[in-house]
Chains A and B, each alone.
Chain A
Amino acid sequence: MFDLSGKTALVTGASGGIGGAIARSLHAQGARVALSGTRREALDALAAELNGAAVLPCNLSDAEAVAKLPGQAEEALGGLDILVNNAGLTRDTLAMRMKDEDWLTVLEVNLTAAFRLSRGVLKGMMKRRSGRIINITSVVGVTGNPGQANYASSKAGLIGLTKSLAAEVASRGITVNSVAPGMIETAMTDALNDQQRERILANIPAERLGKPEDVAACVAFLASQEAGYVTGHTLHVNGGMAMI
């Protein structure tokens, strides 16, 4: 089940906790992966673990670099079957204090880059009559979150992008889905103090934070042949904190 042998995948934000777990998971299922991100050393270290992995550093706020990335991945891997738009950043602050730059940077990297990369990979996928695009959104894209007007908007935007693209290309054997993590153990949640952590846990029926691997397993499923009839969906991975 969920075998990805012979498949190729590009994962953005692969130097982060969730992105790294996704790359490992796709690789474990047999896929060859291209790792994109901004931290070259972290990407190189991950690539050393994953046989045949390519490293393609890219600043996703640079439109020209983003335009080149799909071609670079196709060249490095000999085609591209799976795109995982995982990269994302936060610039949290209350909306009343949020600067245009905080808003625009988050939208550019989290949403616009995902659109540009999707557009870039679709041509090849259309020709091959198969492909998988998986966007990593967030529970806050559906629930909202104070201090994250920019981030939540970008993640809600990804859900709209997912559904629209899914409808456009479903007839060509290409699926487009989202995975929406809740609170996952990463560098970001490591920074929480005990009190914050307790308050969060009180709202998670599973009584634990998620692990990057919990998210990665869902991505591997959606990337697989077996998920071929699932498209336009948002798969929530949040231990029950929001049943939506």
Chain B
Amino acid sequence: MSDNDIGERVKKIVVEHLGVEEGKVTDSASFIDDLGADSLDTVELVMAFEEEFGCEIPDDAAEKIVTVKDAVNFIQEHAA
């Protein structure tokens, strides 16, 4: 999987789940502060990432996934 590919798929999930405009989903965008997610949304995003990329994101790692870039980095390192 290329980095680019992961980034696009992550952004697509974020757009679908949070119903935000694609342009707002930048690498540095924070799910909660910039994209209007609440804590339950972030749990759902993590679930969606796990499903899309077939990896498990433990709770302590999930807590550190604050921005789009955080998610992409984690998946790059751990995706099957």
A119 to chain B, nearest CB (A): 11
CA distance A169 to B38 in the complex (A): 12
> Once bound together, how far apart are the Cα atoms of A88 and B53, in whole Å?
40
* Other contacts beyond A126-B44, A168-B40, A172-B40: 7, CB < 8 A: A123-B47, A126-B40, A126-B43, A126-B47, A127-B47, A169-B40, A171-B40
Chain B residues with CB below 8 A from A168, complex form: 40
B residues whose Cβ falls under 8 Å from a Cβ of A: 40, 43-44, 47
Residues of A in contact with B (beta carbons under 8 Å apart): 123, 126-127, 168-169, 171-172
B-side interface mostly:
helix
Measured CA separation A171–B40 after assembly (Å): 9
Least CB distance from B15 to A in Å reads 18
A169–B40 alpha-carbon span in the complex (Å): 8
Report Cα–Cα, A172/B38, bound state, in Å. 12
B31 CB → nearest A CB, Å: 16
Chain A residues with CB under 8 A of B44? 126
10 contacts between A and B (CB under 8 A): A123-B47, A126-B40, A126-B43, A126-B44, A126-B47, A127-B47, A168-B40, A169-B40, A171-B40, A172-B40
